[in-house]
Amino acid sequence: MLTNKAEVIKRLQQDILHLQGFKSKNSEEHLLGLGPVEAAFPNGIFATGVIHEFVSEGSEETAATFGFVSGVLSKLMTDARPCIWVCPSRNLFPLALKKFNIETTRIIFIETATDQESLWVMEEALKCDGIAVVVGEIPRISFSQSRRLQLAVEKSKVTGFLLRSFKAQHVLASVAKWHISPLPGLCLDGMPGVGFPQWKVELVKVRNGKPGSWKVAWMLEGFEVMGMDGELLRQGDLLNPLQKPPLKASHLQSKII
């Protein structure tokens, strides 16, 4: 009887996670290559079809957030569906997206004049199930307004990235809250230059998950997650740490050459 009760509770928990946008362990969704960052989500899979909230303060953090979000977009836009980017600021340089393996022709940029206009455009775009991701730069948004966005994605299963000001600290109806900070570029051993983009990625809040902080770099083919001691942590390393020790940054030089 106890076993049956435990199985019923486990099944109910999985059903609730599925309704909230989290995929099952057997999901065929592609992993983003974020290793321990993805492992922080329920079932170890990055949640799609939900609202992710990114907070930043100042131009440096905003640029870092643009870079990290672009890397995630390149992993989510694997089919023919486009992305809509609601951009009142014109701070994003579209050609820089090619560094993250994104063709700019696959993103529809919509310029807006006010937060209210940005909110309306983002909500209507999130209702279109033919769109892969909707990114909205809305510095100020209330809980009730964010709840409308969450209700829209629960029907369409479109993923929404909400970029807003760090100063607005009130709670929103998002599944995950991120804070991306810039770090010095990752230069490989003996190689001059500005290096690969690198960020401090903080998962401040994740529903039913485990928040944390990591160093994440964007290399030639995708993300590489760094431990606090500079060791590389990959998905395979996490799954089998005894047989597959973490690689050092110096090992990447041979990989690139």
Dihedrals phi, psi of 229, to nearest 5 degrees: -90, 10
Model confidence at 69: pLDDT above 50: yes
The Cα-based distances of 205 to 72, 126, 154, 179, 213 in angstroms read: 18, 22, 19, 10, 11
Domain segments of the chain: what residues? 107-162, 175-186+194-222
Structure tokens at 88: 């009142």
Instruction: Please give the Cα distance from 24 to 71 (Å, whole number).
Output: 23
- Average pLDDT for 36-54: 90
Label residue 244 by pLDDT band (50, 70, 90).
very low
Q: What band does 128 get if pLDDT is binned at 50, 70 and 90?
A: very high
Q: Output the pTM of the full model.
A: 0.80
Average pLDDT, the chain: 81
pLDDT digits (tens, 9 = 90+) for 131-171: 999 999 998 889 999 999 999 998 899 999 999 987 666 78
Is the model's pLDDT at 27 over the cut of 60?
A: no
The alpha-helical segments, DSSP class H, found in 20-57 are 36-39
Q: How many helices (H) and strands (E) does the chain have?
A: 7, 10
pLDDT tens for 192-208 read: 677 889 999 999 999 88
Nearest Cα residue to 198 out of 234, 230, 166, 239: 230
Task: Check residue 92 and give its pLDDT.
Answer: 86
